[in-house]
Amino acid sequence: MATNESEHEHRDEEEAGTNEDEDTGAQVAPIVRLEEVAVTTGEEDEDAVLDLKSKLYRFDKDANQWKERGAGTVKLLKHKTSGKIRLVMRQS
């Protein structure tokens, strides 16, 4: 009977210690202030002619087989002013 009482007390202590909503009053200040930075993709002056999911392979001469290099999105981008087209693949 004494073990049941001690187990019950132990459970009560655990339940009391797991209260995640408890406000401890601690204030945490950021160590470093980071400024917001504008991220450019290099695709701002281009129109997407083709946009699809794909896999990239490379040929291994020693093993005489194709090996997967990665998977992601392939885009054919046409520059608005020069009309040049380039291929871009980004890993997803």
Domain chopping of the chain, boundaries: 42-92
**pLDDT value, residue 23:** 78
Give pLDDT tens digits for 17-30: 555 677 787 888 88
Please list the ranges in the chain whose pLDDT falls under 50: none
User: 42-92, what's its fold?
Assistant: PH-domain like (2.30.29)
**pLDDT value, residue 44:** 92
Phi, psi for 17 (deg, rounded to 5): -80, -10
**pLDDT value, residue 29:** 86
d(CA 27, CA 2): 43
pTM above the 0.75 mark?
Answer: no
Average pLDDT value over all residues in the chain: 86
Which candidate, 72, 68, 75, 70, places its Cα nearest to that of 53? 72
